């Protein structure tokens, strides 16, 4: 029996999951869950690393009370692009900026004067976006020029957590692939980009192999928490790479959807696709556990609904999932549609007001009831996912027969059913905790329990059930899609 802890940090909450392998089955137990949202200071958004660190330790304390001091492994995965800077003394140079901060908005055009976005895409396979690490670093150095002299090493977010537990400095391939600083040919940091943008001076920590032990928890932590030294494992640092590893895909033509605050839709490819169409349509190529690539589109997900609920909660109106479902069914279909990825919805003060503004500007019925907002969001998301799936098929020159959805977002069954309806493809949904499971599978590979990802995935498929969704009511969805594509 092996018992590992997957630390899975999302952009709205974090969780520590105990994953136990006994025989040919995995079991999951949620050990600790905590809120994790950007904090606002002086008009900017940051991640509170000390709070995250404390919460992970709190989770480990719970483990010790329940199971004792021995843990077979621990690994960290997070959202992409964000990072921390470490000084020569080993101190963090301020809390990391959140990708939802707007301090990079004016940076992209300046960077593209030094190296074009087309060349960046060709070299890295990554779509240019203000949230990318490349532009964030330029923004941070512009605001804090003293950091250029003080920084000793730059760590992407999961590696920053690993550093706090081990004092080891390293980065990981899948997370590094989100930075727009990794060369797809060498699968290492791109010297030409660093030379042109940073005059050759950018102390990014080296990329160490995924699925390997990078160190052990440091003595002071072991004593504080009462644990034996834990192997810290370099799991796929990007949560979508973890989620994909956990999905029991039938074949490589099946599209995957990792569903949560964001929904990432893609297909596995051996080499990045960096054609003119892929560039113009905003596709990106990010790494997998096996050092291949995910040709994918990063799309808005349930962030829209999460933020609407916050608006309602400010007014003391809390709704359960069942109430949400009932309200949706009471609302008329396809009355209002939005482009979920429009800039209005990135980080508004009020999501409900942003949606109303969009509908006014596009001369549509303006949602007023909760059911109208919920239906507008979920129908629009599903229609956008059809747009992405159609272009994935074109770029890969392959028919996409089906879709596999995983992650916390699949608990919204309307999202799954609407995706099947809009795309006209069968959908298989599961598992919910895909990122945590993929994190654990990587640990078990590193510990020598599994020989490879194929074997690990087979165990995952034995263990976790999936739900099938069949396309329904196709004609109204086709009509709505004709309206929708005029909005994007």
Residues acting as catalytic residues: 239
Look at residue 342 and give its three-state secondary structure. coil
- Rounded Cα distance between 213 and 196, Å, is 34
Residues in contact with 446: Cβ distance below 8 Å, sequence separation at least 6, in sequence order: 73, 211, 212, 213, 231, 233, 234, 235
Angstrom CA distances, 251 to 255, 267, 401, stand at 9, 10, 10
- 151-156 and 83-87 beta bridge pairing: antiparallel
CA atoms within 13 A of residue 150's CA, in its CB half-sphere: 16
Tokens of 476: 């109204």
Angstrom CA distances, 476 to 172, 331, 481, stand at 45, 15, 9
Give long-range contacts, CB 8 A cutoff, 24+ apart: 110-113. Answer: 110/138, 111/135, 111/138, 111/197
Angstrom CA distances, 461 to 26, 106, 248, 257, 268, stand at 10, 46, 5, 17, 18
- Rounded Cα distance between 248 and 45, Å, is 37
Tokens of 428: 């298989």
- Rounded Cα distance between 354 and 345, Å, is 6
- Rounded Cα distance between 468 and 369, Å, is 31
Look-up: residue for tokens 């994935």? 392
Q: What is the chain's alpha carbon radius of gyration, rounded to the nearest angstrom?
A: 22
Which contiguous run of DSSP H or E holds residue 249?
A: none
Q: How many helices (H) and strands (E) does the chain have?
A: 19, 21
Q: DSSP readout, 195-235? A: HHHHTT---BPPEEPSSSEEEE--HHHHHHHT-PPPEEE--
- 13-22 and 2-9 beta bridge pairing: antiparallel
Handedness of CA 321, 259, 233, 178 (dihedral sign): negative
206 φ/ψ angles, rounded to the nearest 5 degrees: -65, 155
């Amino acid at each position: 029996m092996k018992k590992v802890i997957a630390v899975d940090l999302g952009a709205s909450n974090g969780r520590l999951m105990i994953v136990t392998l006994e025989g040919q089955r995995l079991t999951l137990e949620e050990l600790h869950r905590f809120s994790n949202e950007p904090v606002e200071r002086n008009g900017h958004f940051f991640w509170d690393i000390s709070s995250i660190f404390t919460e992970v330790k709190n989770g480990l304390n719970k483990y010790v009370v329940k199971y004792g001091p021995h843990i077979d492994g621990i690994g960290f995965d997070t959202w992409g692009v964000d990072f921390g800077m470490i000084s020569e003394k080993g101190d963090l140079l301020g809390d990391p900026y959140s990708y939802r901060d707007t301090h990079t908005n004016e940076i992209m055009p300046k960077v593209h004067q030094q190296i074009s976005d087309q060349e960046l895409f060709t070299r890295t396979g990554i779509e240019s976006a203000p949230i990318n690490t490349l532009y964030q670093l330029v923004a941070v150095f512009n605001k804090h020029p003293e950091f250029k002299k003080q920084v000793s090493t730059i760590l992407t977010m999961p590696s920053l957590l690993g550093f706090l537990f081990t004092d080891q400095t390293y980065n990981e391939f899948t997370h590094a692939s989100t930075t727009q600083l990794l060369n797809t040919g060498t699968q290492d940091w791109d010297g030409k980009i660093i030379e042109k943008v940073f005059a050759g001076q950018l102390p990014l920590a080296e990329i160490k192999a995924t699925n390997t032990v990078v160190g052990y928890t440091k003595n002071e932590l072991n004593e504080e928490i009462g644990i034996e030294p834990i192997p810290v494992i370099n799991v796929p640092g990007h949560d979508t790479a973890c989620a994909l590893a956990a999905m029991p895909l039938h074949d490589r033509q099946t599209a995957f959807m990792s569903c949560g605050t964001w929904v990432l839709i893609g297909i596995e490819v051996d080499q990045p696709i960096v054609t003119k169409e892929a560039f113009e349509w905003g596709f990106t190529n990010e790494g997998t556990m096996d050092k291949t690539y995910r040709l994918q589109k990063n799309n808005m997900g349930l962030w829209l609904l999460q933020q609407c609920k916050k608006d309602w909660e400010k007014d003391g109106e809390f709704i359960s999932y069942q109430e949400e479902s009932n309200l949706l069914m009471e609302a008329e279909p396809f009355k209002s549609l939005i482009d979920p990825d429009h800039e209005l919805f990135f980080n508004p003060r009020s999501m409900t007001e942003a949606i109303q503004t969009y509908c006014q500007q596009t001369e549509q019925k303006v949602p007023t009831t909760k059911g109208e907002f919920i239906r507008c969001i979920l129908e629009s998301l599903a229609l956008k996912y059809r747009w992405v799936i159609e272009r994935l098929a074109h770029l890969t020159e392959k028919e996409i027969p089906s879709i596999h959805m995983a992650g916390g977002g699949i608990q919204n069954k309307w999202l799954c059913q609407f995706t099947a309806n809009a795309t006209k493809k069968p959908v298989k949904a599961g598992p919910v905790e895909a990122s945590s499971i993929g994190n654990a599978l990587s640990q078990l590979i590193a510990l020598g329990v599994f020989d490879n990802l194929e074997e690990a995935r087979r165990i995952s498929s034995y263990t976790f059930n999936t739900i099938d969704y069949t396309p329904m009511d196709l004609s109204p969805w086709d009509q709505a899609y004709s309206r929708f594509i005029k909005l994007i």
